[in-house]
Each structure stands twice: as C-alpha cells, then as structure tokens.
C-alpha cells in the first residue's frame, strides 16, 4: 500500500524539528542580505518545494520586506495547501500551477529574482527549468543544492537512508555543473558559496527516527527528541506564537558565522549555492 507523501503531513503539522527551523532562519537572513546587496522588488520561487517540512514558506521573509512573491508548484493539492498557509500568515503572494517546468506561465523578464532551494534534483528535466529561470528573470538567478561532500550527506546515503537516492537525480548536486550550465545560458556568475552550516550533520530525518534506524531503541534517549518539549516550528515564529525562537535557534550559528573560506566550510555545510546576473540581452530575448 503506497504511503502518503510527507509534504501532506506538514501542510497541517508545523512541527518541523530544530534542523529545519535553523535552515529556514539562515536562509531568511541570507535572502535579506542578497536583497540589500543587489536590490530586487519581485521574485519567483520555482519550484516552491525542495526543503523538507512545511512547503512553500521559503519566501516569507521576502514578502515581509515588500517583495512581490510568486510561487510555482506542479501539484495542485500542495499548491492549494501553500496558498492556505500564506492566507493564515496574512501575506500577499501569487500562486501558479506548472504543467511543464520547461514552459513556465510567465512572459520574459517578469521577475527580478528567480530562485529555488534544493528543488532542482527532484525534476525530470532540470535543464529545461534552468532555461526558464533565466528567461523569466530580468536581473538575478539563485540556485541552491544539497551538498554531497558534507559528512551528513554521505552518512545518509550509505547508512541511514540509502533508498532516498532512488527519488532524486544525484547529478544535480554538482554546483559546478549548474554554474557552467548557467554560464552557457549567458548568465554572469556573481557569487558562490555554502549555506546551512550548523554543528550537527545533515540527516534530513528527525532525530528520534534516526536513532530508530540506527537500532537505538532507548525510550529515554528518544524521549529527548519528542513530545511537547521538542517543538520547533517556523510557522509558530511567523505567527507570533513563539517570538524567542529565532534567538534560541541561532545560538547554534557560530560555525555558520565563522570567518573562514567557504571551501573549508563545505565539508560540513548542508547546501551549496550559486548566484548569477542575467544579461540585458538575454532578459526579454
């Protein structure tokens, strides 16, 4: 009997776990940095999924600083759920259903910032989406992918959850390949680096589930990562129900903030990213 996709669970249960809340806060801060550095007033997130946990809330921080947000999904049920969540947050956004990632329903150069987070390896034809991202952008393209070099990824692949590689196209963790493909599309690479570097490894799954997979059945130990005392929800923070959450989570960001070259950090960072500028002759061509 097929199991229900995990994203359906998180459309109503906002308890994501410490690792995911940390990832969102770090991403929020980075997007705010990019907006301050490069300036953009509109964005397209396509696809809106990629990060685990609650789908469709990666661009919330941008909407809160008066950025016009458009979100695209290829699943009508998930898109409807995300639209309801944004209504709950009381934030404006546009929503679009993509029947083909190689033909997004927008005219050329519609958005100043086009991006996705850890989504591209889920697609059947990532190349087609890359072309569309460049076509739809008038200014910037940003792509982040899981980092296959980091220790947690290798642990997940070979020990904790080897079956996950059947669900993705692992070639698209190669940020160098993505950079070259963007350059071939006329994109000028502005920056590249790593992001999401907490002190724990990236196993994706909740800590209690990981312990079970490793054969550790101690109820006392598993109890440390379950129950009401172990609730971590970005939505609670966004809704004002847990205003101290950011400070509690970001105390773990000391490695993130460490001033060392990103190439040294990548052995532990969970994601790698590339940012490029779409040339004027490509935008709208």
Q: Which pLDDT value is given to residue 211?
A: 38
Q: Note down the domain range covering 38.
A: 6-148+161-199+230-277
Dist CA 203 CA 213 (whole Å) = 11
Q: What are the phi and psi torsion angles at 249 (to 5°)? A: -80, -45
Tokens 């008066």 found at: 66
In a domain, 93, yes or no: yes
Domain count within the chain: 1
In a domain, 43, yes or no: yes
Q: Which pLDDT value is given to residue 215?
A: 52
For residue 181, what is the domain's CATH number?
A: 3.40.50.150
Q: Which pLDDT value is given to residue 229?
A: 61
Strand residue runs (E) in 17-67: 42-45
Name the residue among 158, 168, 131, 157 with its Cα closest to residue 46. 131
pLDDT in tens, 105-155: 999 999 999 999 999 999 999 999 999 999 999 999 999 999 999 888 888
Q: Which pLDDT value is given to residue 151?
A: 85
**18-27, 157-166, 218-227: which range is least confident on average?**
218-227
Alpha-carbon distances, residue 123 vs 120, 133, 259, 268, 275 (angstroms): 6, 14, 35, 26, 20
273 contacts: CB under 8 Å, gap ≥ 6: 142, 143, 144, 145, 175, 192, 193, 194, 195
- The pTM (predicted TM-score) of the whole model is 0.89
Tokens 């079956």 found at: 163
Dist CA 15 CA 205 (whole Å) = 13
pLDDT in tens, 56-110: 999 999 999 999 999 999 999 999 999 999 999 999 999 999 999 999 999 999 9
In a domain, 218, yes or no: no
Structure token digits, residue 176: 């160098």
In a domain, 1, yes or no: no
Specify the pairing of strand 94-97 against strand 137-146. Answer: unpaired
């Amino acid at each position: 009997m097929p199991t229900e996709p995990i994203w359906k669970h998180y459309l109503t249960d906002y308890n994501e776990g410490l690792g995911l809340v940390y990832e969102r806060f770090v991403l929020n801060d980075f997007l705010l940095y990019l907006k301050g550095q490069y300036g953009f007033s509109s964005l397209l997130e396509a696809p809106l999924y990629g990060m685990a946990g609650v789908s469709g809330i990666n661009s919330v921080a941008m909407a809160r600083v008066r950025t016009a947000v458009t979100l695209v999904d290829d699943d009508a049920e998930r898109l409807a759920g995300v639209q309801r969540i944004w209504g709950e947050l009381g934030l404006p956004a546009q929503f679009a259903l993509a029947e083909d990632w190689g033909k997004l329903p927008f005219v050329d150069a519609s958005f100043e910032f086009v991006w996705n987070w850890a989504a591209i390896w889920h697609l059947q034809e990532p190349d087609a989406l890359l072309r569309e991202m460049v076509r739809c952008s008038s200014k910037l393209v940003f792509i982040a992918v899981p980092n296959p070099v980091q220790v947690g990824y290798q642990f997940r692949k070979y020990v904790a959850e080897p079956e996950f590689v059947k669900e993705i196209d692992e070639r698209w963790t190669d940020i160098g390949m993505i950079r070259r493909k963007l350059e071939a599309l006329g994109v000028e690479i502005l920056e590249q680096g790593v992001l999401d570097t907490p002190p724990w490894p990236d196993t994706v799954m909740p800590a209690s589930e990981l312990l079970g997979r490793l054969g550790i059945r101690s109820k006392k130990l598993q109890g440390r990562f379950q129950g009401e005392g172990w609730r971590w929800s970005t939505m609670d923070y966004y809704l004002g129900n847990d205003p101290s959450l950011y400070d509690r989570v970001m105390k773990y960001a000391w490695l993130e903030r460490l001033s060392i070259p990103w190439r040294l950090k990548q052995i532990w960072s969970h994601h790698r990213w590339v940012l490029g500028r779409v040339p004027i002759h490509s935008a709208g061509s």
